[in-house]
Amino acid sequence: MAYQIPLFNLNFDEREAQAAYDTIKSGWISTGPKNAELEQMFRDMWNVKYAVSMSNCTDSLHVACMVCGFGPGDEVICPSLTFAASCNCIRYVGATPVFADIVGPDHINISPEDIERKITPRTKGIVVVHMAGFPARMDEIMDIARRHNLKVIEDACHGPLSEYKGRKLGTIGDCASFSFFSNKNISTGEGGMFITNNEEMERQARLIRSHGMSTMSYQRATGHATEYDITCLGYNFRMDDIRASIAIEQLKKLPADLQTRLNVRRRYVERLSQMEQVVVPFADNQEFVSNYIMPVVLKNSTKERRNKVREFIHAAGIQTSVHYPAVHLFSTYRELGAVLPQTEYVTDNEITLPMYAALTMEQVDFICDTLRQALEQS
């Protein structure tokens, strides 16, 4: 059905179209000057030493696991309340994901206490996902990592420019990954970015991204090199310049877009806080965040009731989603036997409401009124 209020909208206009057109007309469309420009923008805006563009966030997470040295026999702790890529990347390198629970319905990020409980002599790292763009409890997580000599990867795909105590998400752990998928705050259809302050990690990531080649085509085409060596086993994880040119325009718009989203969220929180049957995760957050999505969790509910509520909302022309089905309950991960009561409750009772800068206050009110009616009738 065509929804009157969709879950998200694409923040595109003639600027993205012109940027793509100009890149196509330039005669260089594979990884080249636009990727270099985008990487520099990330270094400047995140105040980070290194940024390496990637074909998508999943590939960036794969690279992150490789440069962190994870491999067969290792365990890496991760949340289950996330998209599967956050956990699949651990398996790509032969390591084993160990699922930790979330804090609870009011803070749907990975629990530092459960991380500590899950550490064994085989634990080599932690993948942290900043759900909805809100920061995990990074002081505690980094303290755990230091005490146990663990690497920390931040999956910051929900949180471009989100902050934790004045630091940008993605700059706190050893390395981080961002997504430019079509429904993200920065959208190019597909694409991603790897960032780090570790010079050796950046060197490895840049080699892995392009078949382990010591020089890339653009360097040779511009006369900066005439030949190349294959220095390691690499992959084709490159972003093309067409997408990079679109990402540049998206990044220019991002600060203003996030400021407007703050106003949308304030209206949501004001209205939703009046509903006794609803928990708004991160309602007390005071940090600047991306507000990628607008999750709510039903109290004292069941999956069946949650689904009925969603059906009522959909019938009113409002699109919703669920972020996310629990990864540890998927067939491919069920054999690991994880039991995560907080995650399982939230994944059965969470509803993602529409969130984007173009939402009007009247639309937010309509969404909240419809949710209230759905709860009364379910």
| Residues acting as catalytic residues | 184
Long-range contacts of the stretch 231-236 (C-beta < 8 A, 24+): 231/207, 232/204, 232/207, 232/208, 234/207, 234/208, 234/209, 234/210, 235/59, 235/62, 235/208, 235/209, 235/211, 236/55, 236/210, 236/211
> Among residues 124, 69, 68, 55, which one has the least CA distance to residue 96?
124
Q: 50-81 in b/e burial notation, b at 16+ Cβ within 10 A?
A: bbbbbbbbbbbbbbbbbbbebeeebbbbbbbb
Structure tokens at 166: 């004045």
**Burial of 220 from C-beta contacts in 10 A (0-12 / 13-18 / 19+):** middle
